[in-house]
Amino acid sequence: MIPTPSTSHLTKEDFRKVYEPAEDTFILLDALEADAEALTRSLSAPLCVEIGSGSGIVTTFLSQIFGSNTGTYIAIDLNPHANRCTVTTGKANGVHIEAIRTSLLSGLRSRLRGNVDVLLFNPPYVPTEEEEEAMAQGKAGIEGSWAGGATGTRLVDELIDDGVISDVLAEGGRCYLVAIKQNDPQGLVRRLKVQGLEAEVVLARRAGGEHLHVVRAIKP
């Protein structure tokens, strides 16, 4: 079993500003651990990118699968507090993470095109009014970690429908997305397939009032 990275260096004040790891975080970790053998067998020096890194625990966990000195780890978040927490979580667990403050892959798509081996996104998935979602994302704070628009998938829709995921993934590259039942995970799978990706729900579980899913897409 791969140990969960330590976040003991983060304080209550930190978690007032960034998303604290919860069940949606841990289902993503479990999906990555389940694929650990396949990931290490096919990738030797991976380029790993996480969108919405929050505390940095997911990227740090992924680095433990490959080895902290193997690969390049880039973590993206619009929240500056998340950028800082991600870097310190990496340091506390012996891995260097490059944190970039931007929205989704804005400004990076051309540089990443065809090069990303693992793309991670635990998006804001709670259905909210469009105006509320826009305000939350505009604040670049913790509110942006949960407000997902009318279907809870506004940011994921942007990545899929604009072809961003299929564009940035390397051959054999993998994308892991977290979704809840209200996001229509099977619909996400179908749309990813339209983009030429091999997609499926690889893990699902109920956590309190939420039915969590992890969608995996692989570029052939």
Residue 67: what pLDDT? Answer: 84
Instruction: Report the chain's mean pLDDT, rounded to a whole number.
Output: 91
Tokens of 208: 């309190």
Residue 143: what pLDDT? Answer: 63
The string of DSSP codes covering 120-177 is: EE----B---HHHHHHHHHHTSGGGGTB--TTS-HHHHHHHHTTHHHHHEEEEEEEEE
pLDDT tens by residue, 167-205: 999 999 999 999 999 999 999 999 999 999 999 999 999
Contact between 164 and 219 under an 8 Å Cβ cutoff? The reply is no
pLDDT tens by residue, 107-163: 899 999 999 999 999 998 777 666 665 665 666 666 656 556 667 788 999 999 999
Residue 219, SS3? coil
pTM score of the predicted model: 0.93
- The CATH superfamily assigned to 14-218 is Vaccinia Virus protein VP39 (3.40.50.150)
* Residue, of 45 and 144, whose pLDDT is higher: 45
Start-to-end CA span in the chain (Å): 29
What would the mean pLDDT of 8-34 be, rounded to a whole number? 96
> CA torsion angle for 100, 22, 214, 95 (degrees, to 10)?
40
Residue 19: what pLDDT? Answer: 93
* Residue, of 67 and 35, whose pLDDT is higher: 35
What are the residue ranges spanned by the domains of the chain? 14-218
Give the distance from CA 197 to its chain's centroid. 18
pLDDT at residue 29 greater than cutoff 90:
yes
**pLDDT band, residue 68 (cuts 50/70/90):** confident
